[in-house]
Chain A
Amino acid sequence: MEGLSQGPRAEASFRLRLGDRRTFADRALTLIAIGLGVSALLPLFSVLYMLVVRGSPLLSLELLTELTPGAGMESGGIGNAILGTVVVVMLAAGMSLPLGLFAAIYLAEYGEDSGLSVVVRFAGKVLSGMPSILAGVFAYAIAVSALGSFSAFAGGVALAILIVPTVMLTAEEALRLVPSKMKQAALGMGATRAQMVTKVLIPTAMPGILTGVMLALSRAAGETAPLLLTALFSDYWFDGKLGEPIASLAVLIYNFSGSPFEYQVNLAWAASLVLVALVLLFNVLAQVVTRRPEEH
């Protein structure tokens, strides 16, 4: 408005005037916004820094292969917790992947706009927004109460509930991204619908599906609250009995975080380092898989 009112002397007003209130406000806001944006990253760097500083001194073969120490002990590792996390996550994957993937196939290919697909998608969204501890509460109700004991199996059930919606929604999206011209090509050659899905649709969407699966599994590996109510913890190695409590990295970190013994606290940091490294590795892998050069 100022510029307009100055009319005849317009050329002069084109010059950038740093003292101008508008220019100053603009610059100041930019600085503040970028400052806030950077500060949002500080916690991440702080966490990563602490993990390295406090977690890495304990890194050794013993850490990865020995049993968790009892109170006051000055040696021991997190081997049983690593194995336990792997076991429970595998168990959960075995239960949830068929459910999530077939549901995604139904949504992307068979459901169209059927009533069932509307309900399924709604259920997926509700499940994915549900607090993870409620999955634990449910698994407690059906597996722990019924079988009379905290167990690896119950832990698997709890994590499976959390994996299903993520896998289903990401896999559906990946399947929908397959160009319809490819589906047409297969159908035009006389593929049955199931043949088209298994031979063209799924292989083409595989990178996207794998990304979703890896992200879901890595998130499940870090879940603690549902395991607290289901798998609990164990100071021993997993011996093939799914009906008994089992150790996990996540619960180990929680248990040892409040420990009065320095060594156990240090183990919690080391376990955090291992857990975060695993989770980030999965995340990076997932991104690499997606970016696999497929065309040209």
Chain B
Amino acid sequence: MTPQEVLSNTATIADHRRTRPATGEASRVAAAEWLVDCQIEKLHYGSFLAVRDAHVPIAGNQITAFIGPSGCGKSTVLRSLNRMNDFIPGFRLDGSVRFQGQDIYGPDVDPVAVRRSVGMVFQQPNPFAMSIYQNVAFGLKLNRFKGDYDERVETALRGAALWDEVKDKLSASGLSLSGGQQQRLCIARAIAVEPALLLMDEPCSALDPIATRRIEDLMLELKERYTIAIVTHNLQQAQRVADRTAFFYVDTSAGGRTGYLIEYRATGELFDDPREDRTKAYLRGEFS
């Protein structure tokens, strides 16, 4: 079964959420087909349980959105996909995140190597205090790319729909651009190394509506070549761009604030016909 076939079969997806992957035969077959098979059982920061039961496999050449109220752990799950959480003291993950079959939390895995294969775009545009060209070439240099830098930089900037605006000032500082341009520069920087997976952590939260729209159009274009996982607090955004959407919620029953997955399905279905009460309530805007 290819990921596409899996996705066309919505029942499988729903089952996937309900049955434990370790036991569910159907999902185990499916798991091998995902680009990233994220099966987080428990995620701790020290003694604090931040996320539990986040089973969100991600299919190739699709956009997967993580939504939910603040504190529901959606960003934490996203950051588990390229081991950015490793920088937080006390971080511990039970479960597995299989990247094309290999567990990136396996014993001999170098997190730096993982991050080089996964691009990331952050909430706040964060270009380096160097030229536009150097920003885009940064990842190439890290990986000691030996080849035509100019061509790669141009391709990446075109890919991020920024080329026409900056082609005459490639040596200008990346910080001289507007917020929306800066964020597209960050996207160009991420895709310059053609990562297998692109993570976007609320990439439009600091942008105005017009800039946001441009980034959304860009994501739809990028989907042709890349796989994208995006965290967003904007439900309309998830509806507009995502193929599949995962809804997280926060459990405060045990006195803590633990995020967990409620429902993970094709975007259209999740929004039109949510199965879980919490999802329905959230989509109606009853809490945020």
Interface size class of A (residues with CB under 8 A): 20 to 34
B124 contacts chain A at the CB level, 8 A cutoff: yes
Judge whether A189 and B175 touch: CB under 8 Å: no
The winner among A188, A191, A199 for most chain B CB atoms within 10 A is A188
- Taking CB atoms and an 8 Å cut-off, the chain A residues in 149-187 that contact chain B are 179, 181-182, 184-187
Which residues in B have their C-beta under 8 angstroms from that of A296? 175-176
A228 to chain B, nearest CB (A): 43
- Rounded to whole angstroms, the CA-CA distance of A204 and B114 in the bound complex is 26
B119 to chain A, nearest CB (A): 7
Judge whether B142 and A187 touch: CB under 8 Å: no
B261 to chain A, nearest CB (A): 24
Judge whether B128 and A185 touch: CB under 8 Å: yes
B108 to chain A, nearest CB (A): 17
The winner among B115, B119, B176, B186 for most chain A CB atoms within 10 A is B115
B189 contacts chain A at the CB level, 8 A cutoff: yes
Which residues in B have their C-beta under 8 angstroms from that of A184? 84, 122, 126
Judge whether B173 and A188 touch: CB under 8 Å: no
Which residues in A have their C-beta under 8 angstroms from that of B287? none
- Rounded to whole angstroms, the CA-CA distance of A276 and B54 in the bound complex is 66
Judge whether B142 and A203 touch: CB under 8 Å: no
Which residues in A have their C-beta under 8 angstroms from that of B142? 189-191, 195, 199
A-B contact pairs, 28 of them (CB 8 A): A179-B126, A181-B122, A181-B124, A182-B126, A182-B129, A184-B122, A185-B126, A185-B127, A185-B128, A185-B189, A186-B128, A187-B84, A187-B87, A187-B115, A188-B84, A188-B120, A189-B119, A189-B120, A189-B142, A189-B189, A191-B142, A192-B112, A195-B142, A199-B142, A200-B128, A204-B129, A295-B176, A296-B175
B130 contacts chain A at the CB level, 8 A cutoff: yes
- Taking CB atoms and an 8 Å cut-off, the chain B residues in 103-125 that contact chain A are 112-117, 119-120, 122, 124
A178 to chain B, nearest CB (A): 8
Chain B, residue nearest A196 (CB): B142
Give the A-binding residues of B (Cβ under 8 A).
Answer: 82, 84, 87, 112-117, 119-120, 122, 124, 126-130, 138-139, 141-143, 173, 175-176, 186, 189-190, 193
Which residues in B have their C-beta under 8 angstroms from that of A187? 84, 87, 115
Pick from B84, B124, B141, B175: contact of A294, CB under 8 Å: B175
Q: Mark A185-226 against chain B: 1 for CB-CB distance below 8 A, else 0.
A: 111111110010001100110000000000000000000000
Chain B, residue nearest A190 (CB): B116
Judge whether B126 and A189 touch: CB under 8 Å: no
A204 to chain B, nearest CB (A): 5
Closest 6 CB pairs of A and B: A190-B116, A190-B115, A188-B120, A181-B126, A185-B126, A204-B129
* Interface of A: prevailing SS: helix
Chain B, residue nearest A113 (CB): B89
- Rounded to whole angstroms, the CA-CA distance of A188 and B142 in the bound complex is 12
B173 to chain A, nearest CB (A): 7
Which residues in B have their C-beta under 8 angstroms from that of A195? 142
Give the B-binding residues of A (Cβ under 8 A).
Answer: 179, 181-182, 184-192, 195, 199-200, 203-204, 294-296
- Rounded to whole angstroms, the CA-CA distance of A187 and B120 in the bound complex is 10
- Rounded to whole angstroms, the CA-CA distance of A192 and B113 in the bound complex is 9
Judge whether B116 and A189 touch: CB under 8 Å: yes
Judge whether A190 and B113 touch: CB under 8 Å: yes
- Rounded to whole angstroms, the CA-CA distance of A195 and B140 in the bound complex is 13
- Rounded to whole angstroms, the CA-CA distance of A191 and B126 in the bound complex is 15
Judge whether B112 and A190 touch: CB under 8 Å: yes
Which residues in A have their C-beta under 8 angstroms from that of B176? 295-296
Pick from B113, B120, B126, B129: contact of A203, CB under 8 Å: B129
- Rounded to whole angstroms, the CA-CA distance of A200 and B126 in the bound complex is 12
Judge whether A189 and B115 touch: CB under 8 Å: yes
Chain B, residue nearest A296 (CB): B176
Chain A, residue nearest B79 (CB): A188
Chain A, residue nearest B125 (CB): A181
A87 to chain B, nearest CB (A): 35
- Rounded to whole angstroms, the CA-CA distance of A190 and B117 in the bound complex is 8
A281 to chain B, nearest CB (A): 26
Pick from B115, B129, B141: contact of A188, CB under 8 Å: B115
Which residues in A have their C-beta under 8 angstroms from that of B114? 190
- Rounded to whole angstroms, the CA-CA distance of A188 and B193 in the bound complex is 13
B144 to chain A, nearest CB (A): 11
Which residues in B have their C-beta under 8 angstroms from that of A182? 126, 128-129
A125 to chain B, nearest CB (A): 26
Judge whether B128 and A189 touch: CB under 8 Å: no
Which residues in A have their C-beta under 8 angstroms from that of B175? 294-296
Judge whether B82 and A188 touch: CB under 8 Å: yes
- Rounded to whole angstroms, the CA-CA distance of A181 and B130 in the bound complex is 15
Judge whether B120 and A186 touch: CB under 8 Å: no
- Rounded to whole angstroms, the CA-CA distance of A108 and B284 in the bound complex is 46
Pick from B84, B120, B138: contact of A199, CB under 8 Å: B138
- Rounded to whole angstroms, the CA-CA distance of A187 and B186 in the bound complex is 13
- Rounded to whole angstroms, the CA-CA distance of A189 and B82 in the bound complex is 9
- Rounded to whole angstroms, the CA-CA distance of A187 and B112 in the bound complex is 8
Judge whether A189 and B122 touch: CB under 8 Å: no
B145 to chain A, nearest CB (A): 12
Given contacts A189-B193, A191-B142, 8 further A-B contacts (CB under 8 A): A185-B127, A187-B87, A189-B115, A189-B116, A189-B139, A190-B114, A190-B139, A204-B129
Which residues in B have their C-beta under 8 angstroms from that of A199? 138, 141-142
